[in-house]
């Protein structure tokens, strides 16, 4: 796998991780008049001042498994 392929795969994985529970879950939050956690963080902090760590770590919350 070339470096460019690895970079593309990482970009794709990040895009997927940003969807959290998926598009249906995000739309459900919006229908309820709520923001997602990432949207709330974006509203609270200055642009570019937050860097998310451990984006690829799966949840271990028993209610979400």
The per-residue pLDDT for range 34-50, each reduced to its tens digit, is 999 888 988 999 988 88
- What are the tens digits of pLDDT across the range 5-28? 999 998 998 888 888 778 898 999
**One-character DSSP codes across 3-65:** HHHHHHHHHHHHHHHHTTT-HHHHHHHHHTT---HHHHHHHHS-TT------TTPPP--GGG-
In this structure, is residue 5 part of a structural domain?
Answer: no
Domain for residue 33, yes or no?
yes
In a domain, residue 62? The reply is no
Within a domain: residue 42?
yes
Domain membership of residue 29 (yes or no) is yes
Structure confidence at residue 53 as a pLDDT band (50, 70, 90):
confident
Residue 9 lies in a domain: no
Q: What total number of domains does the chain contain?
A: 1
Residue 54: inside a domain? no
Structural domain harbouring 25: 21-49
Task: Tell whether pTM > 0.75.
Answer: no
Q: What one-character DSSP code corresponds to residue 2?
A: -
C-alpha–C-alpha distance, residues 2 and 31, integer Å: 42
CB contact set of 35 (below 8 Å; sequence gap of 6+): 29, 43
């Amino acid at each position: 796998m070339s470096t460019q392929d690895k970079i593309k795969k990482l970009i794709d994985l990040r895009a997927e991780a940003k969807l959290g529970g998926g598009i249906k879950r995000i739309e459900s939050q919006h229908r309820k008049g709520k923001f997602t956690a990432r949207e709330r963080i974006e509203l609270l902090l200055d642009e570019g001042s937050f860097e998310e760590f451990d984006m690829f770590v799966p949840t271990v919350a028993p209610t979400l498994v």
